[in-house]
Amino acid sequence: MQWEIVIGLEIHAQLSTRSKIFSGASTAYGAQPNTQACGIDIALPGVLPVLNYGAVERAVKFGVAVGAKINSPSIFARKNYFYPDLPKGYQISQYEIPVVEGGSIKIQVGDAEKTVRLTRAHLEEDAGKSLHEDFHGMSGIDLNRAGTPLLEIVSEPDMRSSTEAVAYAKALHTLVRWTGICDGNMQEGSFRCDANVSVRPRGTETLGTRCEIKNLNSFRFLEKAIDFEARRQIEILEEGGHIRQETRLYDAQRDETRTMRSKEDAHDYRYFPDPDLLPLAISEEWIEQIKASLPELPEVRRHRYIRDFGLTNYDAGVLTSAREMADYFEMTVKQLPMQAKLCANWIMGDVSGRLNKENIEITQCPVSPGQLAGLLLRISDGTISGKSAKDVFESMWQGEQGGDADAIIAAKGLKQISDDSEIERLIDEVLATFPQQVADYRSGKEKAFNSLVGQVMKATKGKANPGQVNSILKKKLE
Amino acid sequence: MLNASLKQLAHQLAARKISSIELTEIFLERIKTLNKDLNAFITVNEEMSLDQARAADKMISSGQVQPLTGIPVAQKDIFCAKGWLTTCGSKMLSNFVSPYDATIIERFNQAGAVIIGKTNMDEFAMGSSNETSYYGPVKNPWDISAVPGGSSGGSACAVAARMAPAATATDTGGSIRQPAALCGISGIKPTYGLVSRYGMIAFASSLDQAGPMAKSAEDLALLMNVMAGFDARDSTSMQRQTEDYSRDLEKPLDRLRIGLPKEYFAKGMNHDVASAVEAAIAEYRKLGATIVEVSLPNTKLSIPVYYVLAPAEASSNLSRFDGVRYGYRAPQYSDLEDMYKKTRAQGFGAEVKRRILIGTYVLSHGYYDAYYLQAQKLRRLIANDFTEAFKQCDVIMGPTTPAVAFDFGEKSDDPIQMYLSDIYTSATNLAGLPGMSIPVGFGDKNRPVGLHIVGNYFREAQMLNIAHQYQQVTDWHLRAPERLPVA
């Protein structure tokens, strides 16, 4: 039987506010345990939550970026359960009426574009962390993370392969970073994925029983976990078994998913509206303001690059995978409008390669877009060869001559000889020195031409512009 | 000094006839004498009180005097006060010294008032007789075989027995007004959102409201001036212009329209209570008020609605008491689950557990719609009744409680009977309206009777005016229990 995999994702994006969603404590990562947990975060008796509107603004920003409906009012609800890293004994979340409803995002799979629909996105607070090691048989609780604002983004089950799921997660990752609502740091847990996976016979409509896979903190794990889980489910079904609805945990070391809890053990969270928080009203004016403050979105830019610069879909996609890279590209191409492809190739190639080697971000690139444009200009006008350009770029990276391409070219004497009369003079010398080759060429031996070019290049130590040498030599020999 | 009004005390202090230290010592002495028998206070800390009194005396001598500067005020043990044991009447918090001040405490501190002690209360404010306190019941100073009411029984007793000139209290279903009535003092529960809930240990967040208790409406007005006001730390706090709650005290009542709900006077009220209330209404007629009959057809639903919503919220609010971070933790347990179970089994009393169970039940999957949602709809209907009634009258009056103070043990085995003590008061919490109780005489066994005055939203100044005018022509509020136990 042919099987179809059906995937929906729930992504928790940590919002980039400096303080927590219901308290004034800092959200900075990596502090000593429990140094960033105030009375509200540790749920002292009598304390009350006060909503951080910075978190709301970011949620709305996301909503308008994906073309969703912004609910006003939306309702904060309590999700009740006991756990030591959940100080109040409930998590403040949104249940029946989330702040963001609907919307969609476009993903690229190969050369095809696909739309993934969003169900909702809601605001909630993060829990703390339980540390089960190194406490002499006890568990440690770190409440620094408790109360960190999260936007939980829930997709419809619109993805049909792990590749699509990864493309969706990446598109969302790009979007949240692009709009500045989340730093997207997956190692620090700022962007976490849970995947709902089910399979069904191809051609059928009914959804199969799904399993939710938790703890997917990289795109690679997301892909591998889905692949494993789909295989597992197909095997069970093909052997005549049934899928149990459950929550499973991905174990990256063993590359497998395993049962965390079954549906029967699922908590009854006893959701009800939080009486400490008023319904969240968001005015049309505020939505309009936020909409106006949105940067040009990645999807829009991608299409513009294809249309205005003639870039391929692939190149445009890579350049718009991060706003910083797209901005770098735009600043470069602004100075070389007719050389967009050259700019794109260099940024995606040499620049990205060098950044990866140093493991730094493009915003920290020692070669500025203006400096890069200076280099690319000298390639395009024939001043230097593509081969020399790589040397010049390395010198610029090292900061030689203040990173100025022209100064480096001059200092290193890499300038091509492009002066017609100079080249003519050199050719005349070569023709006089090698009469035999001239005769060979004229008698029809084409190869002799290349030999003569070689002699000219040798005489100039490779600095003569090969194009010019070719055309002038040809003229002289006619 | 014991019977003086807040205004008189302020005059004495300002005129340096007495210092705050001396005044504080008088009340500390009084507490020392009476508390063993009345059990109104959970915590008394002479040193901390006298430190505050000393600071108040400095303020007075430097001329920075506010109306309550140097005056001792008893604080209900539901308010977190920095450095003070704050138990909420529970074993669960029997070791909890608050690291911070509730907004209310902050406001009293800024006003220069002195915390004279933390008053006893029903555990987590759940009770109508003070019998659920982990620290033992408070006695009614009029008759120590009678309950003082609850949950603010300690505060009511402290004021009635003149152990404090005034006290703070909280009211979720009647916890200010019912004990005020049973102890023969005055108390007001303001409009929901008028007084900050920050630092007040939550019972049912959408119903809880703090307010003052005192001997007279005039005193209540001064206390309201300190307590009321917007607080950014409480999202349900109302953003309004500050008011002077004393401003209308002297207004005549000749244009006042008093609504009497026909349902209240139909049945259920004891004869002794009815006659005291009727006499009070007659007094109001004399003061020029007109009486209109109004109808509150849905208030009969307020007890069932209240006992769905309040426990629902409480079951969640009390989840934080889990033994993990502060408060009581069972001494022996096998694992995390066992620690939770034992801590909560040992740390909470029976009434608290009963309400957590009810609340957990009504919020459970499959029951939520039938109980919680249904109760929310009825809550709206109950509030609508008042809106309709206030089209015909300025205030609504009736008895605060159906009967005078009952004896200890009389209702403690019958929660439903106990819950019915709040039959007249809980509707105002559901509607968010202000309500107050003032003493209007004595009923059976010479126990006090309270008149319940319900105003429209934010009409506290008017309600205080109405109460004050009555207290100008009567002296019930000046009566103090004559035969107090002496140590």
Q: What are the residue ranges spanned by the domains of chain B?
A: 6-256
Residue B197: which of A44, A48, A271 has the nearest Cβ? A48
CA dist B274 and B281 (Å) reads: 10
Question: Which among A79, A130, A276, A278 is the top mutation candidate for probing chain B, defined by the most B β-carbons within 10 Å of its own β-carbon?
Answer: A276
pLDDT at A103: 98
Six-digit token string for B306: 């209240």
CA dist A302 and A296 (Å) reads: 10
Contact B206 A275 (CB under 8 A): yes
pLDDT at A215: 81
* Region for residue A215 given its phi and psi (left: phi exceeds 0; alpha: psi -120 to 50; beta: otherwise): left
Q: Does B239 touch chain A (CB under 8 A)?
A: no
Q: Does B319 touch chain A (CB under 8 A)?
A: yes
Residue B235: which of A80, A87, A277 has the nearest Cβ? A277
Closest alpha carbon within chain A to B339: A84
Q: Which amino acid appears at position A300 of this protein?
A: V
* Residue B303: C-alpha distances to residues A33, A347, B148 (Å): 46, 72, 21
Considering all CA atoms of chain B, what is the largest pairwise distance in Å, rounded to the nearest integer?
70
**Residues on chain B touching A141 (C-beta within 8 angstroms):** 324-325
Q: How crowded is residue B334: how many other Cβ atoms within 10 Å of its Cβ?
A: 9
* Region for residue B164 given its phi and psi (left: phi exceeds 0; alpha: psi -120 to 50; beta: otherwise): beta
Reported as a single tens digit per residue, the pLDDT across B358-403 is 999 999 999 999 999 999 999 999 999 999 999 999 999 999 999 9
* Region for residue A104 given its phi and psi (left: phi exceeds 0; alpha: psi -120 to 50; beta: otherwise): beta
Q: Using DSSP, state whether B133 is helix, strand or coil.
A: coil
Contact B142, B481 (CB under 8 A): yes
CA dist B383 and B154 (Å) reads: 30
Annotated catalytic residue, options B5, B20, B76, B98: B76
Contact A39 B100 (CB under 8 A): yes
Contact A93, A270 (CB under 8 A): no
Residue B485 pLDDT grade (very low, low, confident, very high; cuts 50, 70, 90): low
Contact A246, A260 (CB under 8 A): yes
Q: Does A50 touch chain B (CB under 8 A)?
A: yes
Question: Is B445 part of the annotated catalytic residue set?
Answer: no
**Residues on chain A touching B340 (C-beta within 8 angstroms):** 82
Range B6-256 classified under CATH 3.90.1300.10: yes
Q: Is the bond into B412 cis (omega within 30 degrees of 0)?
A: no
DSSP-assigned letters across all residues of B243-266: --TTTTTT---TT-EEEEEHHHHH
Query: In B101-152, which residue ranges form alpha helices assigned H by DSSP?
Result: 103-110
Residue B340: which of A78, A82, A141 has the nearest Cβ? A82
**Strands of B192-288, DSSP E:** 209-214, 257-261
- For chain A, give every domain's residue range: 3-287, 296-412, 420-477
Question: Is B411 part of the annotated catalytic residue set?
Answer: no
Contact residues, A window 324-383, toward B, CB-based 8 Å cutoff: none
Contact A45 B197 (CB under 8 A): no
**H/E segment holding residue B166:** strand B166-171
Contact A434, A455 (CB under 8 A): yes
Q: pLDDT > 90: what percent of chain B?
A: 93
Contact A77, A272 (CB under 8 A): yes
Contact B364 A275 (CB under 8 A): no
Task: Please give the DSSP secondary-structure letter assigned to residue A277.
Answer: S
On the question of pLDDT at B487 being above 50, the answer is: no
Instruction: Provide the angle, in degrees to the nearest 10, between the axes of the packed helices B217-227 and B6-14.
Output: 70
Report the candidate in A333, A293, A295 with the shortest Cα–Cα distance to residue A316: A333
Task: Please give the DSSP secondary-structure letter assigned to residue B481.
Answer: -
On the question of pLDDT at B414 being above 90, the answer is: no
Residue A89: which of B319, B326, B372 has the nearest Cβ? B319
**H, E, C per residue of A391-403:** HHHHHHHCCHHHH
Contact B236 A45 (CB under 8 A): no
**Residues on chain B touching A80 (C-beta within 8 angstroms):** 315-316, 319, 363
Annotated catalytic residue, options B98, B129, B175, B237: B175
* Residue A83: C-alpha distances to residues A86, A88, A126, B312, B336 (Å): 5, 9, 13, 20, 9
Closest alpha carbon within chain A to B323: A84
Mean pLDDT of B141-168: 97
Q: Is the bond into B212 cis (omega within 30 degrees of 0)?
A: no
Whose tokens are 């089994």? That residue is: B345
Buried b (16+ CB within 10 A) or exposed e, B339-375: bbebbbeebbbebbbebbebbbebbeeebbeebbeeb
Length of chain B: 487
ipTM over 0.85: yes
Q: Does A95 touch chain B (CB under 8 A)?
A: no
Reported as a single tens digit per residue, the pLDDT across B314-334 is 999 999 999 999 999 999 999
Q: Which amino acid appears at position A454 of this protein?
A: G
Angle at A190 between CA A185 and CA A195, to 5 degrees: 105
Q: Up-side HSE of residue A216: CA atoms within 13 Å toward CB? A: 31
Reported as a single tens digit per residue, the pLDDT across B210-263 is 999 999 999 999 999 999 999 999 999 999 999 999 999 999 999 999 999 998
* Fold that domain A420-477 belongs to in CATH: Arc Repressor Mutant, subunit A (1.10.10)
Annotated catalytic residue, options B49, B90, B151, B186: B151
Angstroms from A80 CA to nearest CA on chain B: 7
Report the candidate in A305, A8, A319 with the shortest Cα–Cα distance to residue A178: A319
Residues of chain A falling short of pLDDT 50? none
Give the number of A-B residue pairs with CB atoms closer than 8 Å: 97
Q: Does A138 touch chain B (CB under 8 A)?
A: no
Reported as a single tens digit per residue, the pLDDT across A230-275 is 999 999 999 999 999 999 999 989 999 999 888 777 789 999 999 9
Contact B166, B159 (CB under 8 A): yes
Q: Does A240 touch chain B (CB under 8 A)?
A: no
CA dist A24 and B104 (Å) reads: 21
Contact A50 B233 (CB under 8 A): yes
Report the candidate in B122, B431, B147 with the shortest Cα–Cα distance to residue B261: B431
Question: Which among A19, A34, A41, A47 is the top mutation candidate for probing chain B, defined by the most B β-carbons within 10 Å of its own β-carbon?
Answer: A47
Question: Is B94 part of the annotated catalytic residue set?
Answer: no
Residue B80: which of A45, A90, A270 has the nearest Cβ? A45
**Residues on chain A touching B429 (C-beta within 8 angstroms):** none
